[in-house]
Amino acid sequence: MEYVLIIISAIFVNNVILAKFLGVCPFFGVSKKVETALGMGGAVVFVMTIATIVTYLIQKYILDKFGIQYMQTITFILIIASLVQLVEIILKKMSPSLYQALGIFLPLITTNCAVLGVAILAVSTDGFGLMESTVYAIASAIGFGLALTIFAGIREQLDMMDVPEGMKGVPIAFVTAGILALAFMGFSGIA
Answer yes or no: is 8 within a domain: no
User: What total number of domains does the chain contain?
Assistant: 1
Distance CA(168)–CA(120), nearest Å, equals: 37
Distance CA(46)–CA(136), nearest Å, equals: 13
Answer yes or no: is 190 within a domain: no
What is the three-state SS of 68-120? CHHHHHHHHHHHHHHHHHHHHHHHHHHCHHHHHHHHHHCHHHHHCHHHHHHHH
What share of residues in the chain are helix, strand, coil (percent, to 5)?
Answer: 80, 0, 20
pTM of the entire structure?
0.87
Answer yes or no: is 4 within a domain: no
Answer yes or no: is 179 within a domain: yes
Question: Under DSSP, is residue 19 helix (H, G, I), strand (E, B) or coil?
Answer: coil
Q: Find the domain containing 101 and state its range.
A: 14-185
For residue 152, give the H/E element and its range: helix 130-159
Answer yes or no: is 128 within a domain: yes
Whether the CB-CB separation of 117 and 16 falls below 8 Å is answered with: yes
Could you report the per-residue pLDDT of 127-146, keeping only the tens digit for each? 899 999 999 999 999 999 99
The pLDDT confidence band at residue 109, using thresholds 50, 70 and 90, is confident
Answer yes or no: is 9 within a domain: no
Answer yes or no: is 1 within a domain: no
Could you report the per-residue pLDDT of 7-29, keeping only the tens digit for each? 999 999 999 999 998 988 888 88
Answer yes or no: is 51 within a domain: yes
